């Protein structure tokens, strides 16, 4: 019996990948900023691998013409960036509240 697992990029997987990338950026970002080449490589692999499979999800045969402008791919990219923006915004709000709010 031949079992083949096929990974399919969907809107939900793109959004979850964006949330994952945002959280990973918060956790790994300070380590990457120290200038260590190892952390840079680890972070690049940790960001790129899920994005390749769960956001792009394109077969080589589908990459013809202006494939980057296909509406379903653009929608998945937008959802991925929306997930990253949501995590960053929430982290910023938590940081502001944690530090005492500021003066109004």
Kindly state whether residue 5 falls inside one of the protein's structural domains: no
Kindly state whether residue 49 falls inside one of the protein's structural domains: yes
The total number of residues written for the chain in this structure: 104
pTM for the structure as a whole: 0.81
Q: How far is CA 74 from CA 4, 46, 86, in A?
A: 27, 22, 18
Find out whether 14 and 55 touch, Cβ atoms under 8 Å.
Answer: yes
Kindly state whether residue 3 falls inside one of the protein's structural domains: no
- Who contacts 53 (Cβ-Cβ below 8 Å, separation ≥6)? 7, 9
The residue range of the domain holding 42 is: 11-98
Confidence of residue 100 (pLDDT cuts 50, 70, 90): confident
Kindly state whether residue 103 falls inside one of the protein's structural domains: no
Closest by Cα among 69, 46, 56, 74 to 13: 56
Kindly state whether residue 104 falls inside one of the protein's structural domains: no
**pLDDT, average across residues 82-95:** 94
For residue 4, is pLDDT > 60?
no
Instruction: Give dist(CA 42, CA 74) in Å, integer.
Output: 27
pLDDT digits (tens, 9 = 90+) for 7-59: 788 999 999 999 999 999 999 888 888 878 888 898 899 999 999 889 988 77
Q: State how many domains the chain has.
A: 1
């Amino acid at each position: 019996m031949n079992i083949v697992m096929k990974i399919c990029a969907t809107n939900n997987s793109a959004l979850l990948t964006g949330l994952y990338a945002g959280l990973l950026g918060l956790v790994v970002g300070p380590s990457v900023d120290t200038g260590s080449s190892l952390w840079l490589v680890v972070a690049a692999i940790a960001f790129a691998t899920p994005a390749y499979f769960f956001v792009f999800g394109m077969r080589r045969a589908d990459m013809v013409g202006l494939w980057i402008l296909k509406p379903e791919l653009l929608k998945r990219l937008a959802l991925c960036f929306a997930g990253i923006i949501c995590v960053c915004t929430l982290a910023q709000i938590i940081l502001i509240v944690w530090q005492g709010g500021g003066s109004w």
